[in-house]
Amino acid sequence: MEVRVLSSAQKLIKISVPPRRDSRKGLEVPCPPKRRGVSPKAHMKKIIITKNNSGERTDRFLVREFFSYTRGEIIRNIKSGNITVNNKTVKPSYILKENDAIEVMKYEAYNMKQKEIIPNAKIKFEIIYQDENIIVINKPAGLQVHPVKSLRDHGASPSPNNTLANGLIYKFPEIKTVGDEPENRPGIVHRLDKDTSGIMLVARNQKTFEALKNKFKNREIQKTYWALVYGKLENKKGLIDAPLARSADYKKQTIARAKTKTKIRPAITEYKVLKEYGDYSLVEVKPKTGRMHQIRVHLSSIGHPILGDEKYRLKNMKAKENIVRHLLCAKKIEFNLNGHNFKFEIKLPEDFKAHVL
Protein backbone atom coordinates (compact mmCIF):
# COMPACT_ATOMS: atom_id res chain seq x y z
CA MET A 1 0.00 0.00 0.00
CA GLU A 2 1.26 3.46 -0.90
CA VAL A 3 0.03 6.60 0.86
CA ARG A 4 1.49 9.99 0.04
CA VAL A 5 0.40 13.37 1.35
CA LEU A 6 2.06 16.32 -0.34
CA SER A 7 1.69 20.01 0.55
CA SER A 8 0.61 22.45 -2.25
CA ALA A 9 -2.84 23.88 -2.13
CA GLN A 10 -34.06 14.25 -6.90
CA LYS A 11 -35.28 11.99 -4.24
CA LEU A 12 -38.30 10.15 -3.07
CA ILE A 13 -39.68 9.38 0.39
CA LYS A 14 -41.56 6.51 1.94
CA ILE A 15 -43.42 8.07 4.87
CA SER A 16 -45.35 6.27 7.60
CA VAL A 17 -47.96 8.85 8.60
CA PRO A 18 -51.66 8.47 9.39
CA PRO A 19 -53.87 9.07 6.35
CA ARG A 20 -56.69 11.57 6.27
CA ARG A 21 -60.01 11.00 4.54
CA ASP A 22 -61.02 13.24 1.68
CA SER A 23 -64.76 13.55 2.23
CA ARG A 24 -65.31 14.89 -1.24
CA LYS A 25 -63.94 11.78 -2.99
CA GLY A 26 -64.02 9.18 -0.24
CA LEU A 27 -60.30 8.61 -0.66
CA GLU A 28 -57.60 8.24 1.95
CA VAL A 29 -54.56 10.34 1.16
CA PRO A 30 -51.38 10.65 3.23
CA CYS A 31 -51.05 13.69 5.44
CA PRO A 32 -47.89 15.74 4.93
CA PRO A 33 -45.58 15.65 7.94
CA LYS A 34 -46.10 18.54 10.35
CA ARG A 35 -43.05 20.67 11.00
CA ARG A 36 -43.33 23.93 12.89
CA GLY A 37 -43.00 27.01 10.72
CA VAL A 38 -42.54 25.06 7.48
CA SER A 39 -45.15 24.73 4.78
CA PRO A 40 -45.70 21.23 3.34
CA LYS A 41 -44.91 22.76 -0.05
CA ALA A 42 -41.33 23.32 1.14
CA HIS A 43 -40.85 19.55 1.05
CA MET A 44 -42.15 19.07 -2.47
CA LYS A 45 -40.21 18.87 -5.73
CA LYS A 46 -42.25 19.98 -8.72
CA ILE A 47 -41.62 18.82 -12.29
CA ILE A 48 -43.47 20.49 -15.16
CA ILE A 49 -43.97 18.23 -18.17
CA THR A 50 -42.69 19.62 -21.46
CA LYS A 51 -43.91 18.78 -24.95
CA ASN A 52 -41.05 16.30 -25.37
CA ASN A 53 -42.21 14.23 -22.39
CA SER A 54 -45.94 14.37 -23.02
CA GLY A 55 -47.62 11.15 -24.07
CA GLU A 56 -45.48 9.03 -21.72
CA ARG A 57 -46.56 6.90 -18.76
CA THR A 58 -45.94 8.55 -15.41
CA ASP A 59 -43.98 5.63 -13.94
CA ARG A 60 -41.67 5.30 -16.95
CA PHE A 61 -40.95 9.01 -17.02
CA LEU A 62 -40.06 9.04 -13.30
CA VAL A 63 -37.77 6.02 -13.55
CA ARG A 64 -35.60 8.08 -15.88
CA GLU A 65 -35.77 11.16 -13.69
CA PHE A 66 -34.93 9.29 -10.47
CA PHE A 67 -32.29 6.92 -11.79
CA SER A 68 -31.36 5.27 -8.49
CA TYR A 69 -34.91 4.03 -7.88
CA THR A 70 -36.45 0.87 -9.30
CA ARG A 71 -39.66 0.98 -11.26
CA GLY A 72 -41.35 -0.91 -8.43
CA GLU A 73 -40.34 1.79 -5.92
CA ILE A 74 -41.65 4.50 -8.24
CA ILE A 75 -44.99 2.69 -8.59
CA ARG A 76 -45.34 2.23 -4.82
CA ASN A 77 -44.71 5.97 -4.30
CA ILE A 78 -47.33 6.88 -6.91
CA LYS A 79 -49.92 4.57 -5.36
CA SER A 80 -49.18 5.78 -1.82
CA GLY A 81 -49.69 9.42 -2.80
CA ASN A 82 -46.08 10.49 -2.31
CA ILE A 83 -46.12 11.36 -6.00
CA THR A 84 -49.06 13.30 -7.43
CA VAL A 85 -49.96 14.86 -10.76
CA ASN A 86 -51.77 18.19 -10.70
CA ASN A 87 -52.34 17.70 -6.96
CA LYS A 88 -54.19 14.43 -7.58
CA THR A 89 -53.29 10.80 -6.98
CA VAL A 90 -53.08 9.04 -10.35
CA LYS A 91 -52.39 5.55 -11.62
CA PRO A 92 -48.77 4.66 -12.59
CA SER A 93 -50.07 4.23 -16.15
CA TYR A 94 -51.44 7.79 -16.32
CA ILE A 95 -50.37 9.35 -19.63
CA LEU A 96 -48.66 12.68 -19.04
CA LYS A 97 -49.76 15.81 -20.87
CA GLU A 98 -47.84 18.97 -21.60
CA ASN A 99 -47.82 21.34 -18.58
CA ASP A 100 -48.83 18.60 -16.13
CA ALA A 101 -47.25 19.26 -12.74
CA ILE A 102 -45.73 16.26 -10.97
CA GLU A 103 -45.05 16.77 -7.29
CA VAL A 104 -42.60 14.46 -5.56
CA MET A 105 -42.15 14.43 -1.80
CA LYS A 106 -38.48 15.03 -1.04
CA TYR A 107 -36.61 12.40 0.91
CA GLU A 108 -36.47 13.88 4.43
CA ALA A 109 -35.65 12.23 7.74
CA TYR A 110 -39.19 12.56 9.08
CA ASN A 111 -39.20 9.16 10.73
CA MET A 112 -35.64 8.66 11.94
CA LYS A 113 -36.51 5.57 13.98
CA GLN A 114 -37.18 3.77 10.71
CA LYS A 115 -34.69 5.58 8.50
CA GLU A 116 -31.50 5.90 10.55
CA ILE A 117 -28.47 3.67 10.03
CA ILE A 118 -27.88 1.23 12.87
CA PRO A 119 -24.19 0.95 13.97
CA ASN A 120 -22.70 -2.50 13.47
CA ALA A 121 -19.34 -3.42 15.05
CA LYS A 122 -19.15 -6.66 13.06
CA ILE A 123 -18.62 -4.99 9.68
CA LYS A 124 -14.97 -5.45 8.70
CA PHE A 125 -13.04 -3.14 6.38
CA GLU A 126 -9.52 -1.72 6.24
CA ILE A 127 -8.90 1.92 7.12
CA ILE A 128 -6.08 3.16 4.88
CA TYR A 129 -5.93 6.74 6.08
CA GLN A 130 -7.88 9.20 8.20
CA ASP A 131 -7.64 12.82 9.30
CA GLU A 132 -10.13 15.41 10.54
CA ASN A 133 -11.77 15.67 7.09
CA ILE A 134 -11.61 12.33 5.30
CA ILE A 135 -11.55 8.59 5.79
CA VAL A 136 -10.02 6.40 3.09
CA ILE A 137 -11.03 2.74 3.23
CA ASN A 138 -10.45 -0.50 1.36
CA LYS A 139 -13.86 -2.08 0.82
CA PRO A 140 -13.85 -5.87 0.54
CA ALA A 141 -15.80 -7.61 -2.22
CA GLY A 142 -19.24 -8.80 -1.15
CA LEU A 143 -19.95 -5.84 1.14
CA GLN A 144 -22.89 -3.62 0.16
CA VAL A 145 -22.01 0.07 0.53
CA HIS A 146 -25.30 1.20 2.08
CA PRO A 147 -28.81 -0.15 2.73
CA VAL A 148 -30.90 -0.46 -0.40
CA LYS A 149 -34.29 1.17 0.12
CA SER A 150 -36.22 -1.81 -1.20
CA LEU A 151 -34.37 -4.12 1.19
CA ARG A 152 -34.92 -1.87 4.19
CA ASP A 153 -38.57 -1.30 3.47
CA HIS A 154 -39.56 -4.85 2.66
CA GLY A 155 -37.33 -6.92 4.90
CA ALA A 156 -35.61 -8.76 2.06
CA SER A 157 -32.22 -10.41 2.39
CA PRO A 158 -29.40 -9.42 2.78
CA SER A 159 -29.87 -7.62 6.07
CA PRO A 160 -30.01 -3.82 5.68
CA ASN A 161 -27.87 -3.58 8.83
CA ASN A 162 -24.88 -5.43 7.34
CA THR A 163 -23.52 -2.74 5.05
CA LEU A 164 -20.42 -0.59 4.97
CA ALA A 165 -22.51 2.37 6.15
CA ASN A 166 -23.43 0.46 9.33
CA GLY A 167 -19.74 -0.21 10.01
CA LEU A 168 -18.74 3.38 9.30
CA ILE A 169 -21.34 4.74 11.74
CA TYR A 170 -19.99 2.43 14.44
CA LYS A 171 -16.38 3.59 13.99
CA PHE A 172 -17.09 7.22 13.07
CA PRO A 173 -20.42 8.30 14.64
CA GLU A 174 -19.77 11.95 13.71
CA ILE A 175 -20.59 11.21 10.05
CA LYS A 176 -24.19 10.37 10.96
CA THR A 177 -25.36 13.80 9.77
CA VAL A 178 -22.96 14.19 6.83
CA GLY A 179 -24.06 14.01 3.21
CA ASP A 180 -27.04 14.60 0.93
CA GLU A 181 -28.81 11.56 2.35
CA PRO A 182 -27.12 10.87 5.70
CA GLU A 183 -29.94 8.64 6.92
CA ASN A 184 -29.01 6.20 4.17
CA ARG A 185 -25.48 7.08 2.97
CA PRO A 186 -23.68 8.87 5.82
CA GLY A 187 -20.50 10.58 4.62
CA ILE A 188 -20.41 8.50 1.44
CA VAL A 189 -19.36 10.59 -1.56
CA HIS A 190 -19.17 7.82 -4.16
CA ARG A 191 -20.02 4.13 -4.36
CA LEU A 192 -18.64 0.80 -5.51
CA ASP A 193 -20.74 -2.16 -6.60
CA LYS A 194 -21.20 -4.80 -3.92
CA ASP A 195 -18.73 -7.22 -5.54
CA THR A 196 -16.20 -4.56 -6.56
CA SER A 197 -13.36 -4.26 -4.05
CA GLY A 198 -11.07 -1.34 -3.39
CA ILE A 199 -10.61 2.28 -2.34
CA MET A 200 -13.45 4.54 -1.26
CA LEU A 201 -13.52 8.09 0.14
CA VAL A 202 -15.72 9.08 3.07
CA ALA A 203 -16.24 12.66 4.28
CA ARG A 204 -16.16 13.38 8.03
CA ASN A 205 -17.94 16.75 7.82
CA GLN A 206 -20.39 18.48 5.52
CA LYS A 207 -17.88 21.02 4.19
CA THR A 208 -15.57 18.23 3.03
CA PHE A 209 -18.51 16.28 1.61
CA GLU A 210 -19.53 19.24 -0.56
CA ALA A 211 -15.94 19.82 -1.67
CA LEU A 212 -15.43 16.18 -2.69
CA LYS A 213 -18.82 15.99 -4.38
CA ASN A 214 -17.91 18.98 -6.54
CA LYS A 215 -14.53 17.47 -7.37
CA PHE A 216 -16.18 14.26 -8.56
CA LYS A 217 -18.68 16.30 -10.57
CA ASN A 218 -15.89 18.33 -12.18
CA ARG A 219 -13.76 15.21 -12.80
CA GLU A 220 -10.98 16.45 -10.53
CA ILE A 221 -10.59 13.07 -8.80
CA GLN A 222 -8.64 10.41 -10.71
CA LYS A 223 -9.73 6.83 -10.05
CA THR A 224 -7.81 3.85 -11.40
CA TYR A 225 -9.23 0.32 -11.51
CA TRP A 226 -7.74 -3.04 -12.43
CA ALA A 227 -9.93 -5.60 -14.17
CA LEU A 228 -9.36 -9.13 -15.38
CA VAL A 229 -11.21 -9.60 -18.67
CA TYR A 230 -11.95 -12.34 -21.19
CA GLY A 231 -9.67 -12.65 -24.21
CA LYS A 232 -6.85 -10.55 -25.67
CA LEU A 233 -7.67 -7.00 -26.69
CA GLU A 234 -6.72 -6.10 -30.26
CA ASN A 235 -6.07 -2.49 -29.25
CA LYS A 236 -3.79 -2.52 -26.21
CA LYS A 237 -5.06 0.88 -25.12
CA GLY A 238 -7.97 3.05 -26.06
CA LEU A 239 -10.94 5.22 -25.11
CA ILE A 240 -14.50 3.91 -24.98
CA ASP A 241 -16.95 6.76 -25.55
CA ALA A 242 -20.37 5.13 -25.41
CA PRO A 243 -23.41 6.66 -23.65
CA LEU A 244 -25.28 4.41 -21.22
CA ALA A 245 -28.95 3.92 -20.43
CA ARG A 246 -31.13 1.54 -18.47
CA SER A 247 -32.20 -1.55 -20.39
CA ALA A 248 -35.86 -1.82 -21.39
CA ASP A 249 -36.62 -4.01 -18.36
CA TYR A 250 -34.66 -1.64 -16.06
CA LYS A 251 -32.61 -4.55 -14.66
CA LYS A 252 -29.19 -3.46 -15.91
CA GLN A 253 -27.27 -0.87 -17.90
CA THR A 254 -26.80 -1.00 -21.64
CA ILE A 255 -25.11 0.95 -24.42
CA ALA A 256 -27.55 3.59 -25.66
CA ARG A 257 -28.85 3.14 -29.20
CA ALA A 258 -30.87 5.29 -31.59
CA LYS A 259 -34.14 3.74 -30.36
CA THR A 260 -33.30 3.81 -26.65
CA LYS A 261 -36.27 5.16 -24.68
CA THR A 262 -34.74 5.35 -21.20
CA LYS A 263 -32.63 8.31 -20.14
CA ILE A 264 -29.25 8.44 -21.89
CA ARG A 265 -26.12 9.55 -20.03
CA PRO A 266 -22.66 10.19 -21.54
CA ALA A 267 -19.99 7.74 -20.39
CA ILE A 268 -16.26 7.64 -21.18
CA THR A 269 -13.71 5.04 -20.10
CA GLU A 270 -9.96 4.94 -20.78
CA TYR A 271 -8.18 1.56 -20.69
CA LYS A 272 -4.73 0.02 -21.12
CA VAL A 273 -3.67 -3.65 -21.21
CA LEU A 274 -1.11 -4.38 -18.48
CA LYS A 275 -0.53 -8.10 -19.05
CA GLU A 276 -1.94 -11.06 -20.96
CA TYR A 277 -2.56 -14.53 -19.51
CA GLY A 278 -3.52 -16.99 -22.22
CA ASP A 279 -7.25 -16.48 -22.70
CA TYR A 280 -7.66 -13.42 -20.48
CA SER A 281 -6.00 -10.05 -19.86
CA LEU A 282 -5.25 -7.71 -16.96
CA VAL A 283 -6.48 -4.21 -17.84
CA GLU A 284 -5.99 -0.83 -16.16
CA VAL A 285 -9.15 1.26 -16.41
CA LYS A 286 -9.71 4.97 -15.75
CA PRO A 287 -13.36 6.05 -15.90
CA LYS A 288 -13.79 9.67 -16.96
CA THR A 289 -17.44 9.67 -15.91
CA GLY A 290 -19.12 7.89 -13.00
CA ARG A 291 -22.10 5.95 -14.33
CA MET A 292 -23.52 2.88 -12.65
CA HIS A 293 -21.76 -0.30 -13.92
CA GLN A 294 -19.87 1.86 -16.43
CA ILE A 295 -16.61 -0.12 -16.52
CA ARG A 296 -18.42 -3.44 -16.62
CA VAL A 297 -20.71 -2.42 -19.49
CA HIS A 298 -18.00 -0.67 -21.51
CA LEU A 299 -15.57 -3.59 -21.37
CA SER A 300 -18.35 -6.01 -22.28
CA SER A 301 -19.36 -3.75 -25.19
CA ILE A 302 -15.97 -4.18 -26.86
CA GLY A 303 -16.14 -7.97 -26.48
CA HIS A 304 -14.10 -8.31 -23.28
CA PRO A 305 -16.36 -8.60 -20.22
CA ILE A 306 -14.87 -8.92 -16.76
CA LEU A 307 -14.27 -12.42 -15.46
CA GLY A 308 -16.96 -13.44 -12.99
CA ASP A 309 -19.43 -10.81 -14.18
CA GLU A 310 -22.56 -12.86 -14.80
CA LYS A 311 -24.72 -9.80 -15.47
CA TYR A 312 -22.65 -8.58 -18.43
CA ARG A 313 -20.89 -11.77 -19.59
CA LEU A 314 -21.44 -12.41 -23.30
CA LYS A 315 -23.53 -15.48 -24.16
CA ASN A 316 -20.76 -17.12 -26.17
CA MET A 317 -18.33 -17.01 -23.23
CA LYS A 318 -18.30 -19.72 -20.59
CA ALA A 319 -18.21 -18.81 -16.91
CA LYS A 320 -14.80 -19.35 -15.32
CA GLU A 321 -14.60 -21.92 -12.53
CA ASN A 322 -13.60 -20.86 -9.01
CA ILE A 323 -14.51 -17.21 -9.62
CA VAL A 324 -17.38 -16.15 -7.39
CA ARG A 325 -17.50 -12.40 -8.19
CA HIS A 326 -16.47 -10.01 -10.97
CA LEU A 327 -12.74 -9.34 -10.74
CA LEU A 328 -12.73 -5.55 -10.61
CA CYS A 329 -10.74 -3.57 -8.04
CA ALA A 330 -10.62 0.19 -7.36
CA LYS A 331 -6.84 0.20 -6.97
CA LYS A 332 -5.80 3.85 -6.82
CA ILE A 333 -7.23 7.31 -6.24
CA GLU A 334 -5.63 10.77 -6.59
CA PHE A 335 -7.02 14.19 -5.70
CA ASN A 336 -6.25 17.58 -4.19
CA LEU A 337 -8.08 18.76 -1.09
CA ASN A 338 -7.47 21.88 0.98
CA GLY A 339 -4.12 22.53 -0.69
CA HIS A 340 -2.79 18.98 -0.28
CA ASN A 341 -2.28 16.35 -2.96
CA PHE A 342 -3.37 12.87 -1.95
CA LYS A 343 -2.53 9.59 -3.62
CA PHE A 344 -3.64 6.23 -2.24
CA GLU A 345 -2.93 2.84 -3.77
CA ILE A 346 -3.66 -0.68 -2.50
CA LYS A 347 -2.56 -4.21 -3.31
CA LEU A 348 -4.92 -6.56 -5.11
CA PRO A 349 -7.13 -8.71 -2.85
CA GLU A 350 -6.22 -12.39 -2.55
CA ASP A 351 -9.06 -13.74 -4.72
CA PHE A 352 -7.99 -11.38 -7.55
CA LYS A 353 -4.27 -11.95 -7.04
CA ALA A 354 -4.71 -15.71 -7.36
CA HIS A 355 -5.50 -15.30 -11.08
CA VAL A 356 -2.69 -12.92 -12.06
CA LEU A 357 0.39 -14.56 -10.53
pLDDT at 67: 56
Q: What are the E-state strand segments in the chain?
A: 2-7, 19-22, 27-30, 44-48, 83-85, 101-105, 126-130, 134-139, 197-203, 222-230, 237-241, 244-246, 253-255, 268-277, 280-287, 328-337, 340-345
* Per-residue pLDDT at 79: 85
- Superfamily of the domain at 19-105: RNA-binding S4 domain (3.10.290.10)
Write the burial class of residue 170 (CB in 10 Å: 0-12 exposed, 13-18 middle, 19+ buried). middle
Mean pLDDT by 10 residues, the chain (357 residues): 39 37 40 40 73 88 72 81 91 93 64 64 97 98 81 44 94 94 90 95 97 94 97 96 82 83 90 94 96 94 94 85 91 97 97 88
What pLDDT score does 97 carry?
Answer: 94
Exposure letters 258-272 (e unless 16+ CB within 10 A, then b)? eebebeebebbbbbe
Active site residues: 193
pLDDT value at residue 26: 41
Please tell me the predicted confidence (pLDDT) of residue 130: 98
The whole-angstrom separation of Cα 131 and Cα 185 is 20
pLDDT at site 106:
56
- Collapsing DSSP states into helix, strand and coil, what is residue 166? helix
C-alpha to C-alpha distance for 125 and 143, rounded to whole angstroms: 9
CATH of domain 226-328: 3.30.2350.10
Tell me whether the CATH fold assigned to 19-105 matches the one assigned to 116-218. no
Domain boundaries, given as residue ranges, for the chain: 19-105, 116-218, 226-328
Yes or no: domain 116-218 corresponds to CATH 3.30.2350.10: yes
Confidence (pLDDT) at 262: 82
Buried b (16+ CB within 10 A) or exposed e, 302-335: bebbbbbbebbbeeeeeeeeebebbbbbbbbbeb
Which of 81, 130, 95, 290 lies closest to 196, judged by CA? 290
pLDDT at 128: 97
Alpha-carbon distances of 249 from 70, 71, 246, 318, rounded to whole Å? 10, 9, 8, 24
